[in-house]
């Protein structure tokens, strides 16, 4: 088995961490080779679950808003 990428703990698996109400570490989804990550709080308890699909939906919505803003602000 190849070594785990940075940010992954093979004995405990990969996780995103809850900080100030936001999940940090979601980019680990790709390097960890998984489609879902548990979100854990400061005490190591599972606080939720995030999926690759969740991230893609969020990013596509943000990209749509960004492209709309660019279109609205284009000069003549």
In a domain, 3, yes or no: no
In a domain, 22, yes or no: yes
Query: For the chain, how many structural domains are there in total?
Result: 1
In a domain, 11, yes or no: no
What per-residue confidence (pLDDT) applies to 11? 40
Cα–Cα distance, 50 to 65 (Å, whole number): 22
CB 40 within 8 A of CB 26: no
The predicted model gives 11-16 an average pLDDT of: 62
Cα–Cα distance, 29 to 16 (Å, whole number): 9
In a domain, 59, yes or no: yes
Give the tens place of pLDDT for each residue, 51-73.
888 888 988 998 999 998 898 88
Q: Which residue has the higher pLDDT, 47 or 75?
A: 47
Give the tens place of pLDDT for each residue, 35-52.
888 888 878 788 888 888
In a domain, 29, yes or no: yes
pLDDT(1) > 70: no
């Amino acid at each position: 088995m190849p070594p785990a990428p940075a940010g992954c703990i093979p004995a405990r698996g990969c996780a995103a961490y809850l900080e100030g109400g936001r999940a940090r570490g979601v980019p680990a989804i790709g390097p960890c080779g998984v489609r879902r990550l548990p979100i854990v709080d400061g005490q190591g308890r599972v606080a939720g679950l995030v999926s690759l699909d969740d991230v893609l939906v969020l990013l596509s919505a943000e990209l749509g808003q960004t492209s709309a803003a660019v279109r609205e602000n284009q000069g003549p």
